């Protein structure tokens, strides 16, 4: 029954007021002719209202005449009347139509490329490869061969183990799994020397196999052979072997740092101005003057892509430019302060390089002072195993 | 009021229909009255409306006349077979035709 009412809403219906003393007769005539009436309400003794569909309304007129009732049309409801009312608004419908076409066509392009899974590889490098293979923002989704792009990426980079391109809406996600490059493994039965990875003074050398070439206390340079991969016998002559062993040496790490006595220090005033601009594909519209009212300021740019739903990106980008004003203050440090700062700076530089901090044997600090700045050189002495295997090439 | 429907007598339920367990309101033209609460009433297989006032509705069916008393009653939906009445229903009584 509700289905019938809904259908009548789509096809259109009218609210009718009927006046007369033979309303029951009118109802029974309608019943005989199978006319569907609903919401029949009696208003007064001789008047009632009801709803009837447009098609049945034409058939009602003779019935009303027969039962001596007056028919008055009240409200017209339903979609046909709604459309009739909007018939004059042609431009409105034209724009609606155009918007729908625009959304439909724009959703066939890629408007956002996301690259995930890269840890050591730079995003820009992958974007470059993608662009070379004609996979860029603004490309049509139709006729796009992702397999070819994937193959190209895998051919060009051997540090990528797996690439997947997933296109959802207007958003393309490039997933990357990086391959960790394995160092060249020297087989157990290959002949090899042991060479130094760093320069230093040897403190201990213990050869498991092979002939030690250097002695304790000797200063060696990087890459020089420590344990030769050969054995010499009286009767056998020279025989090549797979050398192994440990070589411990004192290695020096140095770092210098300069700290001027007079320094300019930034201090933020707290004054901030926000500027917005809209970027449509590559066309930028600024809503501000490009010049800032501040003399000295830091600029932070954040941009956000518009999207309709979670995956339907539009080619519109809103960029916020935040200018933070700062003032420069001149600070003068004393000699001790500057020295301390320089030492800390230098130490920080070194400590990034040292892997085993417990093996630090000692440190030396040299300083050099001029009128403008103080220069500090920090030397760390570290005990390290500098042995590494190198294949003998004949 | 000389419709052929009115002349027709109440259809009897046949033996086959009873065997197949067909619903009686379909096989015979006896009315089926469903009352939901005190506010809604569905009458299937009705013949005509004899009288309609807000407080009193008189409906003829094939086996008799149905009187409904109440307040502010509307004929919500009227199709060829069904009639839905909404409003405050106070009492229902029947006047069966005896041959």
Q: What percentage of chain B reaches a pLDDT higher than 90?
A: 52
The pLDDT of residue B38? 93
Residue B1 confidence (pLDDT) above 50? no
pLDDT at B55: 92
Kindly give the interhelix angle for A54-66 and A23-32, rounded to the nearest 10 degrees: 130
State the smallest CA–CA distance between residue B81 and chain A in angstroms. Answer: 9
Tokens of B26: 């379909």
Mutation to test the A interface, candidates B40, B73, B78, B82, most A Cβ within 10 Å:
B78
Q: In chain B, which ranges are E strands?
A: 32-36, 40-44, 46-52, 56-61, 64-78, 82-96
Name which of B33, B27, B34, B94 is nearest B67 in CA terms. Answer: B94
pTM reported for the whole predicted model: 0.44
What does the pLDDT read at residue A113? 85
Whether residue B34 has pLDDT greater than 90: yes
Residues counted in chain B: 99
pLDDT given at position B67: 95
Is B3 a residue whose pLDDT tops 70?
A: no
Q: Residue A369: which of A391, A336, A322 has the closest Cα?
A: A336
Average pLDDT score over chain B? 84
Residue B2 confidence (pLDDT) above 60: no
Tell me which residue in B50, B74, B79 faces A40 most closely, judged by beta carbons.
Answer: B74
In order along chain A (394 residues), what is the average pLDDT of each group of 10 residues?
Answer: 83 92 90 90 90 90 90 90 83 91 87 83 84 82 82 83 84 84 71 83 83 83 82 79 83 83 81 83 76 80 79 79 84 82 83 76 82 83 82 75
Mean pLDDT of B58-70: 93
Cα distances (Å, whole numbers) of residue A88 to A75, A93, A98, A372, B97: 20, 10, 17, 82, 60
**Chain A contacts of B52, Cβ < 8 Å?**
23-24, 27, 40, 42
pLDDT at A233: 78
Query: Residue A318's pLDDT is what?
Result: 85
Q: Which domains occur in chain A, in start order?
A: 2-83 (3.30.70.2280), 112-178 (3.10.20.310), 270-328 (no CATH)
What is the C-alpha to C-alpha distance for residues A223 and A36, in angstroms, rounded to an integer?
101
In this structure, the strands spanning A112-116 and A171-178 are parallel
* B7 has pLDDT over 80: no
Rounded to 10 deg, the angle between the A146-156 and A123-132 helix axes is 120
Which residues, 6 or more positions from B38, have their beta carbon under 8 angstroms from its beta carbon? B88, B89
Strand partners, A284: A279
Q: Tell me: domain B31-99, CATH 2.60.40.2000, correct?
A: yes
Q: Taking 60 as the threshold, does the pLDDT of residue B8 lie above it?
A: no
Distance between CA atoms of residues B36 and A214, nearest Å:
107
Of A24, A32, A36, the CB nearest to B79: A36
Whether ipTM exceeds 0.90: no
Chain A within 8 Å of B2 (Cβ-Cβ)? no
Question: Domain residue spans in chain B?
Answer: 31-99
Closest CA to B71 of B47, B95, B93, B55: B55
pLDDT of B9 over the 90 cut: no
Would you say residue B25 has pLDDT above 50? yes
């Amino acid at each position: 029954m509700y289905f019938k009412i809904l259908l009548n809403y789509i096809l259109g219906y009218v609210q009718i007021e009927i006046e007369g003393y033979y309303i029951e007769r009118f109802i029974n005539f309608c019943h005989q002719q199978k006319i569907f009436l609903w919401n029949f309400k009696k208003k007064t003794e001789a008047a009632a209202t009801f709803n009837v569909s447009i098609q049945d309304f034409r058939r009602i007129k003779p019935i009303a005449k027969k039962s001596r009732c007056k028919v008055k049309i009240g409200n017209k409801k339903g979609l046909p009347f709604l459309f009739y009312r909007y018939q004059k608004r042609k431009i409105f419908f034209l724009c609606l139509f155009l918007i729908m076409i625009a959304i439909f066509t724009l959703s066939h392009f890629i408007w956002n490329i996301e690259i995930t899974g890269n840890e050591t590889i730079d995003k820009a490098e992958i974007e470059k490869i993608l662009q070379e293979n004609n996979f860029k923002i603004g490309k049509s989704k139709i006729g796009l061969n992702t397999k070819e792009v994937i193959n190209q990426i895998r051919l060009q980079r051997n540090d990528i183990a797996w690439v997947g391109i997933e296109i959802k809406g207007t958003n393309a996600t490039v997933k990357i799994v990086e391959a960790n490059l394995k160092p060249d493994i020297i087989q157990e039965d290959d002949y090899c020397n042991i060479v130094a990875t760093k320069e230093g003074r040897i403190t201990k050398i213990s050869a498991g196999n092979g002939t030690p070439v250097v002695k304790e206390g000797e200063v060696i340079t990087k890459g020089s052979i420590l344990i030769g991969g050969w054995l010499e016998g009286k009767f056998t002559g020279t025989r090549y072997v797979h050398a192994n062993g440990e070589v411990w040496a004192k290695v020096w790490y140095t770092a210098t740092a300069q700290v001027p006595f007079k320094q300019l220090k930034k201090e933020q005033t707290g004054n901030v101005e926000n500027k917005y601009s809209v970027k449509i594909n590559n066309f930028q519209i600024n809503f501000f003057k490009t010049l800032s009212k501040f003399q000295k300021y830091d600029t932070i740019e954040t941009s956000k892509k518009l999207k309709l739903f979670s995956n339907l990106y539009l080619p519109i980008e809103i960029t916020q430019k935040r200018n933070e004003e700062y003032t420069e203050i001149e600070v003068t440090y004393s000699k001790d302060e500057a020295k301390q700062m320089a030492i800390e700076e230098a130490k920080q530089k070194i400590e990034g390089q040292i892997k085993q901090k417990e093996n630090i044997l000692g440190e030396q600090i040299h300083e050099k002072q001029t009128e403008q700045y103080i220069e500090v050189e920090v030397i760390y002495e570290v005990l390290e195993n500098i042995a590494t295997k190198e294949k003998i090439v004949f | 009021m000389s419709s052929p429907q009115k002349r027709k007598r109440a259809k009897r339920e046949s033996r086959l229909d009873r065997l197949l367990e067909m619903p009686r309101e379909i096989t015979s033209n006896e009315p089926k009255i469903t009352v939901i609460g005190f506010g809604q009433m569905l009458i299937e297989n009705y013949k005509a409306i004899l009288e309609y006032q807000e407080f009193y509705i008189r409906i003829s069916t094939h086996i008799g006349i149905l009187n409904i008393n109440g307040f502010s009653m509307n004929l919500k939906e009227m199709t060829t077979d069904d009639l839905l009445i909404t409003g405050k229903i106070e009492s229902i009584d029947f006047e069966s035709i005896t041959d």
